[in-house]
Amino acid sequence: MSETPAPSIYETTFAKTDKTDAILVVQGKKLHVNKALLSHQSDYFNTLFNSDFKEKSMPEIEIKDVYFEHFATMLSFVQNNPIKCGAGDAATILELAERFQLPAVKRPMELILIEWRVDRNYKLKLADKYKLDGLLNHVIPLFTSKKQFQKKQKEEWMGSYTTTNHQLLDPLSDETKVKLFHRLIEVYPK
């Protein structure tokens, strides 16, 4: 007799309950969600569920051009039981949060990035791109040697920095460059 496999973390997190009233379908897999919760958290979902679009009356709404695991993880951050993810997924989760207008996802991802031991330049780029001030305040003091500043400057001259997820991030904003410059002055006074 074969056993039924245990449900995945995604299936249990997004199982149908008396509090769910919509189904999002990603890569053929269903996520049972609460319209009011997502509408409150996101202008994207508010428009999707409450405007005069055909999706408003559809029993299932397909979300395209996303990976199921990343999308489900992102959505879980606005629920009671977030799915654990690592710093390696941060760029993807933050990009999805921006695309689906879920600003509440930024803070937990920021805390994950602060806690995890990942490359300071990766943290700096994400902090700059997604305006994560707490992460920026965490990462700037990590620049403590002339060699680290020279490496950062070389990357800027070479153009965009490629993350482990093979996504191109734009060069640093002027505001972040100023903060790095102030840090350089602190590390190397006259």
Q: Taking the model in full, what pTM does it have?
A: 0.80
At residue 150, the pLDDT reads 63
31 band by pLDDT with thresholds 50, 70 and 90: very high
At residue 5, the pLDDT reads 73
CA gap 86, 84 in Å, rounded: 7
Boundaries of CATH 3.30.710.10 in the chain? 1-117
Residue with tokens 């695309």: 99
149 conformational bin, left if phi > 0, alpha if psi -120 to 50, beta if neither = alpha
CATH of 1-117, one of 3.10.310.30, 3.40.50.300, 3.30.710.10, 3.40.50.9100: 3.30.710.10
Mean residue pLDDT of the chain comes to 83
